[in-house]
């Protein structure tokens, strides 16, 4: 009896280690309005195969949860089972979204899709690329420059894509990853960790620590906007966080966070002005 009690206790304390870790769940939506009925039949299992593929893909060992929505708008090409694709990928937990309007894929309905980070695949590698990017962005919020590992994996996929006979779009994706890994983007990536800490402090009711973290992060973002030529990634991030961040201080006696946002986030200037009234 004593032995079974000991085993039961061990099992209970082992549960958190099983639950914690990386998980990816979501839904794939296939838009096939431009396909003929015969073409639709050829890809009728694509949605399920992709969902199963993503759920089994070992993208990370970190404690990261992704709840994705992937929409693929397919247009047939001259070669059978080849499609040009407009992709939209969202993560609801972290409000990250990507769009790629120029993807080429070939689909073999008889092929079993298996994740292999060391081998480029004519269809799945494009999705692996964007999921690595997404995980890298999330990892940056948890730890300063925590996304390096994942951005480098995305970079390898882009480099491998450039070596393919049909390297359509991979030069553009490679440049995007190069930007993330550039020294000029280091302050911006560190800023994400500060801002994430600010949200955690606010959740715990420590608004002074929250304010300090936000201001430290915003100063790093301000520096980045002065140093980089391509600012879209920075503004995309601000668009995800500006509402929640500014509203934490809308009734505060100290409006420094809102004032700083007003200076660097010119896309929402009128919104900040209304908060200060």
Tell me the average pLDDT across 181-201. 97
| Mean of per-residue pLDDT scores for the chain | 90
262, 260, 186, 193: which is closest to 224 by C-alpha?
A: 186
Residue 6: pLDDT band (50, 70, 90) is very low
User: Buried b vs exposed e over 215-241: b needs ≥16 C-beta within 10 Å?
Assistant: bbbbebbbbbbeebeeeebbbebbeeb
Residue 20 pLDDT exceeds 80:
no
Query: Which of the residue ranges 15-19, 50-54, 206-210, 233-237 would you say has the lowest mean pLDDT?
Result: 15-19
Distance between CA 197 and CA 217 in Å, rounded?
10
- Domain edges within the chain: 10-109+120-181, 192-276
Strand partners, 70: 28, 89
pTM of the model: 0.89
Report pLDDT for 16: 40
Q: pLDDT tens digits for 152-167?
A: 999 999 999 988 866 7
Report pLDDT for 136: 97
Q: pLDDT tens digits for 167-181?
A: 778 999 999 999 999
Distance between CA 32 and CA 74 in Å, rounded?
6
Residue 78: pLDDT band (50, 70, 90) is confident
Distance between CA 165 and CA 25 in Å, rounded?
32
Total Cβ atoms within 10 A of residue 98:
18
Distance between CA 248 and CA 206 in Å, rounded?
11
> Exposed/middle/buried for 62, CB within 10 Å: 0-12, 13-18, 19+?
middle
Strands of the sheet with 96-106, listed across from one edge? 23-31, 65-76, 82-91, 96-106
Report pLDDT for 165: 66
Residue 76 pLDDT exceeds 90:
yes
Helices (H) and strands (E) in the chain — how many of each?
Answer: 11, 4
Q: pLDDT tens digits for 141-151?
A: 999 999 999 99
């Amino acid at each position: 009896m004593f032995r079974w009690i000991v085993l039961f206790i061990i099992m209970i304390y082992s549960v958190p280690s099983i639950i914690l870790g990386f998980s990816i769940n979501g839904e794939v939506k296939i838009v096939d309005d431009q396909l003929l009925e015969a073409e639709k039949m050829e890809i009728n299992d694509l949605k399920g195969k992709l969902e199963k593929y993503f759920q089994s893909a070992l993208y990370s060992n970190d404690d990261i949860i992704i709840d994705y929505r992937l929409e693929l708008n397919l247009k047939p090409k001259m070669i059978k089972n080849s499609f040009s694709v407009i992709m939209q990928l969202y993560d609801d937990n972290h409000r990250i979204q990507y769009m790629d309007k120029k993807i080429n894929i070939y689909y073999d309905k008889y092929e079993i899709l298996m994740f292999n980070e060391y081998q480029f695949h004519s269809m799945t590698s494009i999705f692996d690329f964007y999921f690595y990017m997404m995980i890298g962005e999330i990892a940056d919020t948890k730890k300063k420059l925590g996304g390096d590992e994942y951005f480098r994996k995305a970079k390898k996929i882009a480099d491998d894509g450039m070596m393919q006979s049909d390297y359509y779009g991979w030069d553009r994706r490679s440049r995007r990853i190069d930007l993330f890994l550039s020294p000029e983007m280091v302050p911006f990536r560190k800023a994400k960790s500060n801002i994430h800490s600010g949200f955690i402090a606010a959740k715990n009711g420590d608004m002074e620590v929250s304010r300090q973290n936000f201001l430290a992060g915003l100063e790093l973002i301000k520096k980045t906007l002065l140093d980089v030529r391509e600012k879209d990634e920075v503004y995309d991030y601000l668009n995800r966080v500006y509402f929640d961040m500014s509203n934490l201080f809308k009734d505060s006696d100290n409006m420094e966070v809102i004032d700083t946002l007003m200076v660097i986030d010119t896309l929402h200037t009128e919104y900040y002005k209304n908060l200060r009234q």
